[in-house]
A = this chain, B = another copy of it.
Protein backbone atom coordinates (compact mmCIF):
# COMPACT_ATOMS: atom_id res chain seq x y z
CA UNK A 1 0.00 0.00 0.00
CA UNK A 2 1.41 3.35 -0.92
CA UNK A 3 -0.66 5.80 1.11
CA UNK A 4 -2.40 3.52 3.68
CA UNK A 5 -5.71 5.35 3.44
CA UNK A 6 -8.01 2.53 4.31
CA UNK A 7 -7.90 0.64 7.54
CA UNK A 8 -7.60 -3.08 7.42
CA UNK A 9 -10.90 -4.89 7.60
CA UNK A 10 -12.96 -1.88 6.53
CA UNK A 11 -14.22 -2.79 3.07
CA UNK A 12 -13.92 0.13 0.70
CA UNK A 13 -17.64 0.17 0.05
CA UNK A 14 -18.70 0.29 3.68
CA UNK A 15 -18.67 4.08 3.86
CA UNK A 16 -20.90 4.56 0.85
CA UNK A 17 -23.23 1.87 2.05
CA UNK A 18 -23.50 3.56 5.43
CA UNK A 19 -24.08 6.89 3.79
CA UNK A 20 -26.89 5.42 1.73
CA UNK A 21 -28.39 3.88 4.83
CA UNK A 22 -28.35 7.05 6.88
CA UNK A 23 -29.63 9.19 4.04
CA UNK A 24 -32.40 6.73 3.23
CA UNK A 25 -33.48 6.63 6.86
CA UNK A 26 -33.63 10.40 7.03
CA UNK A 27 -35.66 10.71 3.83
CA UNK A 28 -37.99 7.85 4.76
CA UNK A 29 -38.75 9.63 8.03
CA UNK A 30 -39.20 13.02 6.37
CA UNK A 31 -41.35 12.03 3.42
CA UNK A 32 -42.41 8.47 4.08
CA UNK A 33 -41.22 5.31 2.37
CA UNK A 34 -43.51 5.45 -0.63
CA UNK A 35 -43.01 9.13 -1.30
CA UNK A 36 -39.23 8.71 -1.28
CA UNK A 37 -37.85 7.48 -4.59
CA UNK A 38 -34.64 5.56 -4.95
CA UNK A 39 -33.63 8.46 -7.20
CA UNK A 40 -34.07 10.88 -4.27
CA UNK A 41 -31.76 8.76 -2.19
CA UNK A 42 -29.17 8.37 -4.94
CA UNK A 43 -29.12 12.08 -5.63
CA UNK A 44 -28.79 12.94 -1.95
CA UNK A 45 -25.57 10.96 -1.72
CA UNK A 46 -24.30 12.03 -5.14
CA UNK A 47 -24.93 8.82 -7.03
CA UNK A 48 -26.75 8.06 -10.27
CA UNK A 49 -30.22 6.62 -10.18
CA UNK A 50 -29.23 2.98 -10.69
CA UNK A 51 -26.36 2.87 -8.23
CA UNK A 52 -28.14 2.24 -4.93
CA UNK A 53 -29.02 -1.15 -6.36
CA UNK A 54 -25.35 -2.04 -6.38
CA UNK A 55 -25.49 -1.90 -2.56
CA UNK A 56 -29.05 -3.07 -1.91
CA UNK A 57 -31.18 -5.55 -3.75
CA UNK A 58 -34.34 -3.49 -3.51
CA UNK A 59 -35.88 -0.41 -1.97
CA UNK A 60 -37.50 -2.59 0.69
CA UNK A 61 -34.11 -4.00 1.49
CA UNK A 62 -32.81 -0.50 2.10
CA UNK A 63 -35.65 0.21 4.48
CA UNK A 64 -35.16 -3.05 6.33
CA UNK A 65 -31.43 -2.49 6.75
CA UNK A 66 -31.93 1.10 7.86
CA UNK A 67 -34.46 0.04 10.46
CA UNK A 68 -32.43 -2.85 11.83
CA UNK A 69 -29.15 -0.98 12.04
CA UNK A 70 -30.87 2.05 13.52
CA UNK A 71 -32.69 -0.03 16.10
CA UNK A 72 -29.47 -1.73 17.09
CA UNK A 73 -27.63 1.55 17.46
CA UNK A 74 -30.46 2.81 19.66
CA UNK A 75 -30.34 -0.38 21.68
CA UNK A 76 -26.62 0.08 22.29
CA UNK A 77 -27.16 3.68 23.39
CA UNK A 78 -29.90 2.54 25.75
CA UNK A 79 -27.70 -0.15 27.28
CA UNK A 80 -24.76 2.19 27.63
CA UNK A 81 -26.89 4.82 29.36
CA UNK A 82 -28.31 2.27 31.81
CA UNK A 83 -25.00 0.79 32.84
CA UNK A 84 -24.24 1.38 36.48
CA UNK A 85 -27.51 3.11 37.33
CA UNK A 86 -28.66 0.99 40.24
CA UNK A 87 -31.78 2.82 41.33
CA UNK A 88 -34.55 1.72 38.97
CA UNK A 89 -36.41 5.02 39.17
CA UNK A 90 -33.32 6.96 38.23
CA UNK A 91 -32.57 4.37 35.54
CA UNK A 92 -36.05 4.83 34.09
CA UNK A 93 -35.41 8.58 33.88
CA UNK A 94 -32.17 7.96 32.02
CA UNK A 95 -33.85 5.52 29.68
CA UNK A 96 -36.62 7.98 28.88
CA UNK A 97 -34.13 10.70 28.05
CA UNK A 98 -32.06 8.30 25.95
CA UNK A 99 -35.09 7.10 24.06
CA UNK A 100 -36.08 10.67 23.24
CA UNK A 101 -32.56 11.10 21.93
CA UNK A 102 -32.89 8.02 19.74
CA UNK A 103 -36.22 9.30 18.50
CA UNK A 104 -35.52 12.97 17.93
CA UNK A 105 -31.84 13.73 18.25
CA UNK A 106 -29.94 11.08 16.34
CA UNK A 107 -29.51 11.84 12.68
CA UNK A 108 -31.86 9.15 11.48
CA UNK A 109 -34.69 9.08 14.06
CA UNK A 110 -35.10 5.37 13.69
CA UNK A 111 -37.99 4.76 16.07
CA UNK A 112 -40.15 6.89 13.80
CA UNK A 113 -39.46 4.47 10.97
CA UNK A 114 -41.32 1.67 12.68
CA UNK A 115 -44.44 3.22 11.23
CA UNK A 116 -43.18 2.20 7.78
CA UNK A 117 -43.00 -1.50 8.63
CA UNK A 118 -46.19 -2.08 6.70
CA UNK A 119 -44.23 -1.54 3.49
CA UNK A 120 -42.18 -4.66 4.21
CA UNK A 121 -43.05 -8.30 3.62
CA UNK A 122 -43.82 -10.66 6.49
CA UNK A 123 -40.26 -12.00 6.76
CA UNK A 124 -38.68 -8.60 7.09
CA UNK A 125 -41.41 -7.46 9.46
CA UNK A 126 -40.60 -10.39 11.71
CA UNK A 127 -36.94 -9.33 11.87
CA UNK A 128 -37.97 -5.82 12.84
CA UNK A 129 -40.29 -7.18 15.46
CA UNK A 130 -37.46 -9.21 16.98
CA UNK A 131 -35.26 -6.12 17.22
CA UNK A 132 -37.96 -4.00 18.83
CA UNK A 133 -38.81 -6.81 21.25
CA UNK A 134 -35.25 -6.74 22.53
CA UNK A 135 -35.52 -3.00 22.99
CA UNK A 136 -38.81 -3.35 24.84
CA UNK A 137 -37.51 -6.07 27.11
CA UNK A 138 -35.04 -3.65 28.70
CA UNK A 139 -37.95 -1.38 29.57
CA UNK A 140 -40.14 -4.13 30.89
CA UNK A 141 -37.33 -5.30 33.17
CA UNK A 142 -36.96 -1.88 34.77
CA UNK A 143 -40.72 -1.45 35.08
CA UNK A 144 -40.97 -4.86 36.71
CA UNK A 145 -38.23 -3.92 39.12
CA UNK A 146 -40.08 -0.76 40.10
CA UNK A 147 -43.30 -2.69 40.56
CA UNK A 148 -41.57 -5.25 42.78
CA UNK A 149 -40.24 -2.44 44.96
CA UNK A 150 -43.78 -1.12 45.26
CA UNK A 151 -42.99 2.06 43.39
CA UNK A 152 -45.38 1.45 40.53
CA UNK A 153 -49.00 0.55 40.76
CA UNK A 154 -48.47 -2.12 38.15
CA UNK A 155 -45.94 -3.13 35.53
CA UNK A 156 -48.51 -4.68 33.25
CA UNK A 157 -48.04 -4.03 29.58
CA UNK A 158 -50.60 -1.23 29.30
CA UNK A 159 -48.26 0.97 31.29
CA UNK A 160 -45.30 0.31 29.00
CA UNK A 161 -47.42 0.89 25.93
CA UNK A 162 -48.81 4.13 27.30
CA UNK A 163 -45.27 5.23 28.13
CA UNK A 164 -44.00 4.53 24.63
CA UNK A 165 -46.99 6.36 23.28
CA UNK A 166 -46.17 9.46 25.31
CA UNK A 167 -42.60 9.44 24.06
CA UNK A 168 -43.01 8.38 20.43
CA UNK A 169 -45.79 10.86 19.79
CA UNK A 170 -43.13 13.50 20.24
CA UNK A 171 -42.10 12.75 16.68
CA UNK A 172 -45.36 14.37 15.59
CA UNK A 173 -44.93 17.69 17.34
CA UNK A 174 -41.41 18.14 18.70
CA UNK A 175 -39.31 20.81 17.00
CA UNK A 176 -35.68 21.34 17.99
CA UNK A 177 -36.27 25.09 18.07
CA UNK A 178 -39.54 24.86 19.95
CA UNK A 179 -40.37 25.83 23.52
CA UNK A 180 -39.72 22.48 25.12
CA UNK A 181 -36.29 20.87 25.26
CA UNK A 182 -35.82 17.12 25.22
CA UNK A 183 -34.71 17.34 28.84
CA UNK A 184 -37.96 19.03 29.78
CA UNK A 185 -40.10 16.53 27.89
CA UNK A 186 -38.18 13.67 29.46
CA UNK A 187 -38.70 15.14 32.91
CA UNK A 188 -42.43 15.68 32.36
CA UNK A 189 -42.90 12.12 31.15
CA UNK A 190 -40.85 10.61 33.97
CA UNK A 191 -42.66 12.69 36.57
CA UNK A 192 -45.99 11.60 35.20
CA UNK A 193 -45.02 7.97 35.54
CA UNK A 194 -43.07 8.10 38.77
CA UNK A 195 -44.98 10.70 40.69
CA UNK A 196 -48.30 11.03 38.92
CA UNK A 197 -49.91 14.02 37.33
CA UNK A 198 -51.88 14.94 40.39
CA UNK A 199 -50.92 17.44 42.97
CA UNK A 200 -51.52 15.81 46.32
CA UNK A 201 -51.19 19.00 48.39
CA UNK A 202 -50.83 17.72 51.94
CA UNK A 203 -52.74 14.76 53.34
CA UNK A 204 -55.36 14.19 50.67
CA UNK A 205 -57.46 11.07 50.66
CA UNK A 206 -58.08 8.90 47.65
CA UNK A 207 -59.04 11.21 44.78
CA UNK A 208 -61.53 8.74 43.38
CA UNK A 209 -64.90 9.37 45.04
CA UNK A 210 -67.27 11.75 43.31
CA UNK A 211 -68.37 14.72 45.35
CA UNK A 212 -72.11 15.15 45.76
CA UNK A 213 -72.19 18.57 44.19
CA UNK A 214 -69.44 21.13 43.96
CA UNK A 215 -69.92 24.14 46.21
Contacts and interface: CB of A to CB of B under 8 A. Distances in A.
Interface of A: 31-35, 86-87, 89-90, 114-115, 118-119, 150-154, 158-159, 161-170, 172-173, 180, 184-185, 188-189, 191-199, 201, 207-208, 210-211, 213-214
Contacts of A158: 180, 184-185, 188
Contact of A86 (B34, B35, B185, B214): B214
24 contacts: A32-B33, A32-B34, A32-B119, A86-B213, A90-B210, A115-B172, A151-B198, A152-B199, A153-B196, A153-B199, A158-B185, A159-B188, A161-B173, A162-B188, A164-B169, A165-B165, A165-B166, A165-B168, A165-B169, A192-B192, A194-B197, A194-B207, A195-B208, A196-B197
B32 A118 contact: yes
Contacts of A32: 32-34, 118-119
Nearest to A35: B34
A189 B162 contact: yes
